């Protein structure tokens, strides 16, 4: 087996097991062996072992001699890992997960926006402005994938402009939230002009070094997104 093929198999097994754990198909306390994994997915013991090592690093499983590989309860998971977020969204608890992530965002992105207003350089400001321009264009055309890309660039740049390494490290969490919301139909098919206008307010406040305005507008962005998720959830719940 070539290195590339081995890597491909490893990714397939990792995603398959992670998704099954996130969905509850592999329940907490359930015990696996490397032989089980190898036979189920037709991979070598080394490929199975590597996938389990990654799952251990996410705290989805624990491995002990003479016991095997035990699936851990959700309380033990590294819920900040982008892959765990993706698998949970894929598993079906989308609205609950997205709202939980929105609450997390509310705790750091407004502060990051305020810091960006104090620390952003001209390059950051140009990227934020360009991202908003792209969001306007793609929002009008209904190109959600291109809109998503521009939205991710905006938030990544804002977190970077905050100058705080901890906030910058949360970019992947925000990116998975935005991606999951789009790919699972938990946002309007036509992005709301009000949401785009709020992004423009943040970009302008950062450029003008107005920290309170940047923080307020970012909080409004997060609240608007959470309201949109609740609205989509309510519509799906209606008979």
Shared domain for 107 and 223, answered yes or no, is yes
Shared domain for 90 and 72, answered yes or no, is no
In tens, the pLDDT along 24-35 reads 999 999 999 999
In tens, the pLDDT along 144-183 reads 999 999 999 999 999 999 999 999 999 999 999 999 888 8
Shared domain for 14 and 54, answered yes or no, is yes
Q: How confident is the model at residue 48 (pLDDT cuts 50, 70, 90)?
A: very high
Shared domain for 70 and 158, answered yes or no, is no
Does the pLDDT value for residue 1 go beyond 90? no
At residue 8, the pLDDT reads 81
Q: What is the mean pLDDT of the chain?
A: 91
Question: d(Cα 121, Cα 154) in Å, to the nearest integer?
Answer: 14
The token pair at 222 is 């997060």
Q: What is the mean pLDDT of residues 16-20?
A: 95
At residue 234, the pLDDT reads 65
At residue 61, the pLDDT reads 97
Q: Is 232 helix (H, G, I), strand (E, B) or coil?
A: helix
Q: What is the mean pLDDT of residues 206-225?
A: 96
Question: d(Cα 63, Cα 226) in Å, to the nearest integer?
Answer: 38
CA of 14: how far to CAs of 111, 122, 137, 150, 175, in Å?
35, 41, 38, 29, 21
Does the pLDDT value for residue 238 go beyond 90? no
Task: Pick 61 or 7 by higher pLDDT.
Answer: 61
CA dihedral 188, 149, 141, 199 (to 10 degrees): 70
Query: What percentage of the chain exceeds 70 in pLDDT?
Result: 94
Q: What is the mean pLDDT of residues 79-100?
A: 88
DSSP assignment letter at 73: P
User: Which helix (H) or strand (E) is 169 found in, with range?
Assistant: none
Would you call 183 exposed, middle or buried from its count of C-beta atoms within 10 A (0-12, 13-18, 19+)? middle
- Which of 76, 99, 116 finishes a domain? 76
CATH code for the domain of 115: 1.20.120.530
At residue 2, the pLDDT reads 36
Question: Which pairs with CB-CB distance under 8 Å and at least 24 residues apart come from 93-98?
Answer: 94/180, 94/184, 94/186, 95/186, 95/229, 95/230, 95/232, 95/233, 97/180, 98/177, 98/180, 98/181, 98/186, 98/226, 98/229
- Which of 29, 44, 76 finishes a domain? 76
Q: How confident is the model at residue 66 (pLDDT cuts 50, 70, 90)?
A: confident
Question: d(Cα 211, Cα 202) in Å, to the nearest integer?
Answer: 9
pTM: 0.88
- By residue range, what is the domain housing residue 103? 82-237
Shared domain for 92 and 67, answered yes or no, is no
- Which of 36, 55, 76 finishes a domain? 76
Q: How confident is the model at residue 56 (pLDDT cuts 50, 70, 90)?
A: very high
Does the pLDDT value for residue 93 go beyond 80? no
What is the number of domains present in the chain? 2
Shared domain for 37 and 53, answered yes or no, is yes
Side-chain half-sphere of 129: how many Cα atoms within 13 Å? 12
Does the pLDDT value for residue 239 go beyond 60? no
Contact in structure between 190 and 139 (CB atoms under 8 Å): yes
Q: How many C-beta atoms lie closer than 10 Å to residue 123's C-beta?
A: 11
At residue 99, the pLDDT reads 86
């Amino acid at each position: 087996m070539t290195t590339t093929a081995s890597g491909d198999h490893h990714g397939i097994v990792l995603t398959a097991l992670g998704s099954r754990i996130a969905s509850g198909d592999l329940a907490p306390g359930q015990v696996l062996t490397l032989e089980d994994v190898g036979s189920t997915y037709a991979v070598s013991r080394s490929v199975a072992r590597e996938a389990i090592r990654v799952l251990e690093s996410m705290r989805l499983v624990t491995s002990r001699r003479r016991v095997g590989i035990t699936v851990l309860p959700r309380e033990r998971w590294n819920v900040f890992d982008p892959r765990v977020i993706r698998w949970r969204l894929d598993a079906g608890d989308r609205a609950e997960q997205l709202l939980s992530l929105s609450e997390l965002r509310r705790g750091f992105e407004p502060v990051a926006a305020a810091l960006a207003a104090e620390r952003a350089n001209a390059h950051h400001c140009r990227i934020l402005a360009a991202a908003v321009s792209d969001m306007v264009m793609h929002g009008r055309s209904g190109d959600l994938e291109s809109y998503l890309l521009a939205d991710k660039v905006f938030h990544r740049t804002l977190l970077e402009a905050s100058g705080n390494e901890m906030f910058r490290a949360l970019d992947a969490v925000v990116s998975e939230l935005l991606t999951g919301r789009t790919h699972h139909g938990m946002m309007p098919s036509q992005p709301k002009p009000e949401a785009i206008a709020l992004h423009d307010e943040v970009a302008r406040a950062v450029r003008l070094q107005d920290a309170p305005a940047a923080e307020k507008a970012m909080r409004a962005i997060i609240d608007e997104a959470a309201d949109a998720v609740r609205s989509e959830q309510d519509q799906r719940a209606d008979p």
